[in-house]
Structure 1
Amino acid sequence: MNDPQVPAHLEYVFEMRVEFRPERCMFGPLPGGGGHQGYTPCASGTIYGPRLSGIVVPDSGADYAHVRTDGTVVVNSHYLLEADDGTKIYINNNGYLVPSKPGEGKLVHGVRQPAYFCFSPTFTVPEGPHDWMSRTLFIGTGHRRTDPDHSIFTYYAVRSTID
């Protein structure tokens, strides 16, 4: 048997701190016992890292969450970013947040973290210095925080090691 090699590696690109408004909307149960639907508006945020820095445009988006009956949160978030050079960038995160079981999960800054919080974002970017983002595959991880309510998202570009 051959030793399989992973034909890719991850490049750290940036982190984003997204501040949330206290207003939340949750409704359900959904027809067919499909869980609940939710909405959390984004207030603002900051972007920092080696390949991108800037802000999350205030009040430009929200997290739309489908909370399944097994407790898994299907994440679909939309925000407008603004790079330091003024470039507007639309981001759409899709992924999963799986809550930790009672008594489990790592504590970070006093907040019990989800067992799993990962997503795959896509970016819509105008031609220019950041348009590489619209043709690169990314993965991301998330951490929840409180005081104030916010999340830290870390993004990695998937780079091929095949020439």
Structure 2
Amino acid sequence: MPEVYLGLGSNIEPRLEYLKKAAEKLRDEKNINLEKTSSVYLTKPYGNLEQEDFLNAVILIKTPLNPEELLKKVLEIERKLGRVRAIEWGPRKIDIDILFYDKLYYQSQKLQIPHPEIKNRAFVMIPLLELIEEEELLLEGKDIHFWLEKLEIDEDEVKLYSEFPDLS
């Protein structure tokens, strides 16, 4: 089954609970196996900076769903958890992004894989590196370490917050 890395983010309280609920809803889907979770990181907002800090994590799933089917499922879970898309890069209860789908390069009107912003987002790359082997996933022929080193990030931009909540 394809391995898929998903980015999770929330900056509306209870942030950690929204991450947990998103992972639980994904795990409870019959066509999705939750394999691994990263730690949770406290991160500064990206884009629209006048909002609360985020909690971010990355999870690894296996699924027979194709990218469009998975996107539909992810958007449905976001909606069930109260996601409202009012402001681009605005506050959100939950955000679930498809980062990588195996080593597939895919583009449609609704979806681009790998996610086009990974290389600009330390809050995605740092938790992703907890789950992958070195040089396992490449962006434009370069590994995640390469892109992370290109970013000049402040110490307080991405901080370890906690382990991922228990899902048992």
Q: Aligning the two structures, in what range does the TM-score lie when normalised by the shorter sequence?
A: under 0.3
Higher CA-based Rg: 1
**Relative contact order (alpha carbons < 8 A, sep ≥ 6): 1 or 2 greater?**
2
